[in-house]
Amino acid sequence: MFSEAVKIEQRVEEGKGITTLRFPMGAKVRPGQFLMVWIPGVDEIPMSVSFIGALAGITVKEVGEATRALSLMKEGDVLGLRGPYGNGWQLPPGRVLCVGGGVGMAPIMTAAEGMADRTRVDVAIGARNAGEIIFEGRARRASDDVRTTTDDGSYGLKGTVVALADQMMREKRYDVVLGCGPEVMNRYLLKACKQHSVPCQLSLERLMKCGAGLCGSCVIDGLRVCADGPVFTGEQVERMTEFGRWKRDDAGLRVSL
Amino acid sequence: MTTSLETDICGTRLRNPTMLASGVMGETGDSLLRVAEAGAGAAVTKSIGLEPRRGYPNPTLVELEDGYINAMGLPGPGIEAFGEEMSVALKGGIPIIGSLFAAIPEDFVTLAVRMQEYGASAIELNLSCPHAKGYGMEVGVDPEAVASIVRQVKAAIDIPLWAKLTPNTHRLLDVAKAVEGAGGDAIVAVNTVKAMAISVEARRPVLFNRTGGLSGPAIKAVGLRCVYELYEAVDIPIIGVGGAETSRDVLEYLMAGARAVQIGSGVGRRGLGVFQAACGGLLRYLEEHGLNSLSDIVGVAHVQ
Ligand SMILES: Cc1cc2nc3c(=O)[nH]c(=O)nc-3n(C[C@H](O)[C@H](O)[C@H](O)COP(=O)(O)OP(=O)(O)OC[C@H]3O[C@@H](n4cnc5c(N)ncnc54)[C@H](O)[C@@H]3O)c2cc1C
Ligand SMILES: Cc1cc2nc3c(=O)[nH]c(=O)nc-3n(C[C@H](O)[C@H](O)[C@H](O)COP(=O)(O)O)c2cc1C
Ligand code: FES
């Protein structure tokens, strides 16, 4: 665990409203872990590490004030980082299907690259439209079988990424599925994996304040997404009564998703 | 006779002297349940107020090598919604201590009565939060104000009343005596030490609230000193808090005079296994020294 201030060295626009920021970082990170990213004067929010290595990176999608401020940062600007936090993926031996929805590709991509064997890992990339498909080139360098889908059919197949994953599981035998995306996607992906009897791991999101396993704001049932997750096994997720239905607000009150 | 870690705090029986400190994993019933499963002897809830509160915006936490500085700003669902969480928490089978914060005695009374109805084994008054304006520490450094709160709450409930004190005052012992004089059943010491972190690169304080409360190993020496002095100043039981993570830390607090020890930051730094690990070490210590119970070591550091 560390806290450090870093200077942004590279800024890349990956897609519509989706930006990657790269910076040198001292800490060692495992695929699927995240950082608490401080935008001085604005906010501090959780971001998956989307690039691992000497020039680390995060990939942010604009959804509100903090993500907008982060997206607008320039080369040379300073970010505060703490972490890495969370468990990360369990990368098992065997064949892996990586499924990313939208900016959910950020932690998925580090998993695919972490496998370091393009014959063992396939990637399904989904987004709402062509502008939001990210990391396709990177995925093709890490995998022999990369397929894309968009909700509106503007790129790749038309349909959801879960339908695509379902199709791939029908065609090929996988030992594990890794998934990250909106909660509805995760929910249907879990269902599809069950139907095909393929174990899965899902990276989940909840409101985070401390990121360090203390404050309890990120809990789903009794599990802290920041410390016990963000990656949970399909069995763990199936036992969660709040998954797909409830989240907690800033005050810790249960509200529907 | 078998060695036992059981302890008793004014009628509340604990299977072991480790307890979850307030504000850590204590906002929801399910997370309190997990703390029970992880082996804690009791668990204190997040400090609950009258109304839902969102707390401060981030950054609310700074992580240091030897602790944290937090300024959560007392977020919480409010007493009304907390009943549901309590009913879940109680399934863990360990005593659940209801921590409360308020600005005036009347509100503390309202909260305490509800917490008792919800099934809390005891009430812990948070008279010591260093970063929520108008609450906690601002009340908790005035012996008369504290006595008035303790007296009124005590008259309204049947369960034991604990008062959690701040180390951020030279009047710690006066406040503790006020608690004892007003009928308080136990003292919990300490809450966090008021602190701050500054980012050189950003040239500003890191926390949104600028200042926060320091916790973890960084404050153990302060907590120990407070417990040691309190032990000589009051006769009611003392519960130690501040930087305890290992069985050795717990032993230090017990020797200083604490009957039980709360662990907060240790849960983040070492994980939920922190309770069981500390208890395992305690049991070994007692056995190696031929002691049957914890009462044989409470306060032994007060040598002539
Ligand atoms: C472990 C973890 C890893 C994450 N990794 C990434 C990442 O790599 N890239 C990335 O872009 N985001 C990631 N997020 C989500 C990101 O943290 C949030 O989008 C961000 O906190 C929103 O802050 P804001 O101030 O911009 O939006 P807010 O003002 O807080 O919210 C604006 C609007 O966006 C909605 N919103 C808030 N949070 C989310 C969310 N998580 N998903 C969808 N809508 C949301 C709100 O409901 C609201 O309508 C991650 C979250 C977690 C918990
Ligand atoms: C994130 C966090 C939140 C806290 N919230 C509360 C709270 O709501 N009420 C309270 O009485 N103490 C609160 N505390 C203080 C702890 O209960 C404890 O007194 C302090 O952290 C010292 O113990 P530790 O070093 O074991 O953490 C909080 C501490 C932390 C780290
Ligand atoms: S964000 Fe605080 S416990 Fe997870």
- How many Å apart are CA B302 and CA B227, to the nearest integer? 11
Would you tell me how many other CB atoms lie within 10 Å of the CB of residue B199? 17
- Domains of chain B and CATH, by start: 7-296 (3.20.20.70)
Task: Tell me, yes or no, whether A102 and A79 share the same domain.
Answer: no
- Run means of pLDDT, 10 residues per run, chain B, 304 residues: 86 96 96 97 97 97 96 96 97 97 94 98 88 70 93 97 95 97 98 96 95 98 98 98 98 98 97 97 96 94 88
pLDDT at A97: 98
pLDDT tens for chain A, residues 1 to 257: 678 899 999 999 999 999 999 999 988 999 999 999 999 999 999 999 999 998 999 999 999 999 999 999 999 999 999 999 999 999 989 999 999 999 999 999 999 999 999 999 999 999 999 999 999 999 999 999 999 999 999 999 999 999 999 999 999 999 999 999 999 999 999 999 999 999 999 999 999 999 999 999 999 999 999 999 999 999 999 999 999 999 999 999 999 98
Task: Tell me, yes or no, whether A128 and A197 share the same domain.
Answer: yes
User: Helix B143-156 to helix B105-118 angle, to the nearest 10 degrees?
Assistant: 40
Which of A38, A66, A85 is a domain's end point?
A85
What torsion, rounded to 10 degrees, do the Cα atoms B237, B242, B245, B246 define? -50
B137-162 exposure pattern, b = at least 16 Cβ within 10 A, e = fewer: bbbbbbbebbbbbbbbbbebbebbbb
What torsion, rounded to 10 degrees, do the Cα atoms A25, A31, A34, A37 define? 30
Contacts of A221 in chain B (CB under 8 A): 30
What torsion, rounded to 10 degrees, do the Cα atoms A189, A193, A194, A196 define? 140
DSSP state for residue B76 in the 8-state scheme: B
Question: A237 near A191, Cβ under 8 Å?
Answer: no
Instruction: Specify the CATH number for the domain of residue A137.
Output: 3.40.50.80
Task: Tell me, yes or no, whether A60 and A100 share the same domain.
Answer: no
* Ligand 1 neighbourhood includes A138 CB (under 6 angstroms): no
Instruction: Write out the H or E segment, with its range, that includes residue A207.
Output: none
Contacts of A34 in chain B (CB under 8 A): none
For chain A positions 234-253, those within 8 Å of chain B (CB to CB) are: 248-253
pLDDT at B67: 97
Question: A41 near A69, Cβ under 8 Å?
Answer: no
Task: Tell me, yes or no, whether A199 and A209 share the same domain.
Answer: no
**Residues whose CB is less than 8 angstroms from the CB of residue A225 and which lie 6 or more positions away in sequence, other chains included:** A86, A204, A205, A206, A208, A218, A219
Q: Residue B191 Cα, ligand 2 centroid: separation in angstroms? A: 6
* Ligand 1 neighbourhood includes A43 CB (under 6 angstroms): yes
pLDDT at B136: 62
Mutate: best of A3, A8, A215, partner B, most B CBs <10 A: A215
Task: Tell me, yes or no, whether A197 and A212 share the same domain.
Answer: no
**Shortest-distance atom of ligand 2 to CA B164:** 11
Task: Tell me, yes or no, whether A135 and A78 share the same domain.
Answer: no
Residue of B nearest to A6 (CA): B201
**Which DSSP string do the residues of A23-65 spell out, in sequence order?**
EE--S---TT-EEEEEETTTEEEEEEEEE-SSEEEEEEE--SH
Task: Tell me, yes or no, whether A154 and A171 share the same domain.
Answer: yes
Residue of B nearest to A84 (CA): B63
Which of A40, A57, A85 is a domain's end point?
A85
Task: Tell me, yes or no, whether A72 and A95 share the same domain.
Answer: no
Which of A52, A85, A118 is a domain's end point?
A85
The residue whose CA has the least distance to atom 27 of ligand 1 is A64
Task: Tell me, yes or no, whether A96 and A199 share the same domain.
Answer: yes
Q: Are strands A121-127 and A145-150 parallel, antiparallel or unpaired?
A: parallel
Q: Which domain holds residue A242?
A: 205-257
ipTM metric? 0.93
Task: Tell me, yes or no, whether A178 and A209 share the same domain.
Answer: no
Instruction: Specify the CATH number for the domain of residue A60.
Output: 2.40.30.10
**In chain A, how many domains are there?**
3
For chain B positions 51-70, those within 8 Å of chain A (CB to CB) are: 52-55, 57-64, 68, 70
A11-38 exposure pattern, b = at least 16 Cβ within 10 A, e = fewer: beebbebbbbbbbebebebbbbbbbbbb
**Shortest-distance atom of ligand 1 to CA A58:** 8
Task: Tell me, yes or no, whether A188 and A98 share the same domain.
Answer: yes
* Ligand 1 neighbourhood includes A41 CB (under 6 angstroms): no
Q: How many helices (H) and strands (E) does chain B have?
A: 10, 16
State whether A214 and B268 contact (CB < 8 Å).
Answer: yes
Task: Tell me, yes or no, whether A253 and A147 share the same domain.
Answer: no
